[in-house]
Amino acid sequence: MINGFSVIKNMSEDTDNIQYSPIRNYNYGRFFRDVQYNGTALNQSERAEFTKVSDETIADYSKGLPLTNQILVSIKDRNDDFHIIQRTIVSVMQFVLITLIDNMVICKYFILADTDYDKRFMRGKMKVILNEGFKQLYGFGEKAHEESEWHRLEPILKYFPDEIKQQYIHLTNLLIQHSITSTWWRDERVAETHLDAEKLYASRCEEVNESKVMMESLKLFDTLFAVELFLTNMHACLRNSLVEMYLRGEIKK
């Protein structure tokens, strides 16, 4: 995954072996399928394994954060077309990374919670990330969508090949379905963020089903992961344009 977040200005470190980055035709639809929970709970051994895998995944994803920040800082005053495109892609990447990591962290501590109230509390905070994460990614309603991270990509699509434009349209349709077929736990998010005691109590009293909660969390994780794959394709196109410029002698090592 980290390859998608490489610092573009360093892409020609090994100019003798320079290669184009592949643009992959991902099956994005598989990340948007509803997954039914089976009601099972993890045993102690499975919890330990889940924690181990979570820590490894969080550590791996976290490596991308300094890279995205380094790029954004280094190009903050560059306003030519190339750097505007680069800044947009990397900025959306940064949002996706942080939200993916936060979602994974909250899942880990939900599973690790060893008292009843702790588990109910972590479930509530997870709902905040689920709602806010999708709201910022795509939004609910036209006005919210226009202010979303996904919409920020639309103005720069004119610089990309038809393959990328078609992938964007396909993913947009999948995101629309997600936005209109689920509230993404809006009521729970409102109660949690506004500390509405009566609604919080009612929400916390609902039975905790670990399998159900984890499947709900996976819904956001999979959505963000699909977007991350698309952004990696956009990043590859940008890198390939630099390769072409280098091979034509328009830029130096």
| Coil, helix or strand at residue 243 | helix
28-37, 57-66, 165-174: which is most confident: 165-174
The residue assigned the tokens 């991270």 is 149
| Mean pLDDT over the full length of the chain | 88
Query: What pLDDT shows up at residue 4?
Result: 37
Give long-range contacts, CB 8 A cutoff, 24+ apart: 65-68: 65/94, 65/97, 65/98, 65/101, 67/2, 67/5, 67/6, 67/7, 68/5, 68/93, 68/94, 68/97
113-155 pLDDT tens trace: 999 999 999 999 999 999 999 999 999 887 788 899 999 999 9
Cβ burial of 35 (10 Å; 0-12, 13-18, 19+) is exposed
Predicted model pTM: 0.88
- Domains of the chain, residue spans: 44-247
- Residue scoring higher pLDDT (174 or 244): 174
- Which amino acid is located at 236 in the chain? A
Would you call 126 helix, strand, or coil by DSSP?
A: helix
DSSP one-letter code for 209: -
End-to-end CA distance of the chain: 25
